[in-house]
Chains A and B, each alone.
Chain A
Amino acid sequence: MRLTEPEVRYVADLANLRLSEEEVSRMSHDLGEILTHIEQLNELDTSNVEPMAQVLYEADETATLREDIPHTPLGNREALANAAASGAGYFKVPRVIDR
């Protein structure tokens, strides 16, 4: 199995990753090799097998609900401390609406 370069670019767009031409070519080869290996799963008939959606779940359904007591949240200043750009208590991003 091989992933074509246009397919690689399509997936990179879905993943919001900018890839160089060299990376696209390398990715096409590497992902193809891994996907070929993964094809071995088709040897197994899994038509009557439940997917393992939970690893372990031994507790009652409501066990993870805590008492409804308010906690002090992380403050605005702390939440913004690692922002790439912030101002007036908000995260700043490039302009998304043209006026």
Chain B
Amino acid sequence: MKSPHDLASLTIGSVREGLQAKKFSAKELTQAALDLAEAENPKTNAFLTFACEHALADAERVDKAVAHGGYVGALAGVPVGIKDVIVTKDLRTTCGSRILENYIPPYDATAVYRLREEGAVILGKLNCDEFAMGSSNENSAYGPVRNPRALDRVPGGSSGGAAASVAQGTAVATLGSDTGGSIRQPASFCGVVGVTPTYGRVSRYGLVAFASSLDHIGPFARNVEDAATMLRIIAGRDDLDSTSAFAPVDDYHALMRHPVRGLKLGLPKEYFEGLNAETGDVIHAAIKQLGSLGCEIREISLPHTKYALSCYYIIATAEASSNLARYDGVRYTIRSDGDSLTSMYRNTRGSGFGAEVKRRIMLGTYVLSAGYYDAYYRKAQQVRTLIAKDFSEAFKDVDALVTPVSPFPAFKIGEKVDDPLAMYLSDVYTLTGDLAGVPCMSVPCGESPEGLPIGLQIFAKHFDEATMFRVAYKYEQATSR
């Protein structure tokens, strides 16, 4: 065999084996992945920018290193993709927005840098909702992404391209970002693994800021093991992000192989209300499976769950309205002229941002405006404390929580686009994890009767990604094949 014939089933481990056994070279693999990505793009629109020349040059370097023998990196030759809100040196980064249409970053995000150091080959940049604001990837200025599992449906959002490219078999793994569910929800909709680590576990340096106290970088992959490999590489203290944590990074691969027998799993009852019936059946079957593996299942309560959406939309939009003030027509490529400095700012921002971004800047500006700060922002921060306490109380009694990721599987393109509140409600089960800062992930656990993927969400204690991976890995092992 001269080239990797089945890209969609490749994993980080099988790329390593293939390179070592000389079944294919990194250059052949990269070329095959780029060819497939370009051929699929008219259908799914997952990629916004291809990095063909850079990728092939990086792959050649890997091949030379392999030929010389010695250590070539944990991701040597692995084709990866990067969500377009994460900056890549000399590779266009648009954030899915017109306002950054021609922006070429002068540096790599720390997470991207760490992937490159391990030999990963970056195929290109992945489509997403504009500035990661959305739940369906329909807010991209460059058109929606289509779900590779059902092309008339959304891939989820905001990291739609990052989930879709792993599902369609172009990238073996990708980096996305999660502020309210933007990794877990698309992972669930596309049938791949998606991980939102503990707040501070992965440096945010080079992640274009949306809501700084809620933003996370995390991986997508085809299985739990690959997701853990990706996280282990990008995790850990970075002096360029003062909120990145000093806590040591665990050996996820060793720890996730420990038995789950006796682990206590909580089912927060609030996450099973308002769930569509088909999703409920699949989730309950998955919980039963975990029970048969020896996990002890307990119903618990996270009583402030119903306030999460309101809390989130105050804090996230307030932070966004500040973070997005920098797009002023001066530093970042696009300018619409005006007869004064202020009118230039207003014209640039008015024509450069899309409808959802403007809506959130407006809401955030309103809740922070004179006289409203205490009523909205301070109140929301207090409610955030209550939501975080719900989790810390629950984790006194249980080791992890299992819930659905979304109340329903992937919906049709256009179905919710005219109703912002209905769209926001598709994130009700994921927002809480970002507000509390706990690690959480989506692992595929079945399909709806129409064949749409459904994901199981697992939450763990702060910095206890190892237990989260253990539950996901043992579940995956018990149900695959």
Contacts and interface: CB of A to CB of B under 8 A. Distances in A.
Contacts of A79: 106
Interface stretch (B123-131, B164-172, B384-392): B384-392
A8 B88 CA distance: 37
Contact of B307 (A31, A35, A40): A40
Interface in A42-82: 42, 44, 46, 49-53, 55-56, 58-59, 63-64, 66, 74, 78-79, 81-82
Nearest to A7: B366
A8 B243 CA distance: 35
A38 B382 contact: no
A56 B311 contact: no
B362 A59 contact: no
A89 interface: no
Interface of A (DSSP majority class): loop
B363 A34 contact: yes
Contacts of A56: 198-200, 245, 437, 462
A88 interface: no
Contact of B309 (A35, A37, A50, A82): A37
A80 to B, nearest CB: 9
A85 B310 contact: no
Contacts of B369: 11, 14
A90 to B, nearest CB: 11
A26 B339 CA distance: 27
B335 A44 contact: no
Contact of B376 (A23, A38, A50): A38
B359 A16 contact: no
B331 A83 contact: yes
B332 A52 contact: no
Interface residues of A, number: 49
B321 interface: yes
Given A23-B358, A55-B243, A74-B106, A44 B386 contact: yes
Main SS class of interface, B: helix
Contacts of A6: none
B423 to A, nearest CB: 11
Contact of A84 (B242, B333, B363, B383): B333
B270 to A, nearest CB: 14
Contacts of A19: 350, 358
A40 to B, nearest CB: 6
Contact of A50 (B102, B330, B339, B385): B385
Interface stretch (B13-21, B68-76, B184-192, B341-349): B341-349
Interface of A: 3, 8, 11-12, 14-19, 23, 26-27, 30-31, 33-35, 37-38, 40-42, 44, 46, 49-53, 55-56, 58-59, 63-64, 66, 74, 78-79, 81-85, 91, 93-94, 96
29 contacts: A15-B361, A15-B362, A17-B346, A17-B361, A17-B362, A18-B349, A27-B359, A34-B420, A34-B421, A35-B366, A37-B421, A41-B310, A41-B314, A41-B380, A41-B383, A44-B383, A49-B385, A51-B382, A55-B200, A56-B198, A56-B200, A58-B245, A74-B106, A78-B106, A84-B335, A93-B341, A94-B339, A94-B340, A96-B340
Ranked nearest first, the 3 interchain pairs of A and B with the lowest CB-CB distance are A18-B350, A51-B381, A84-B335
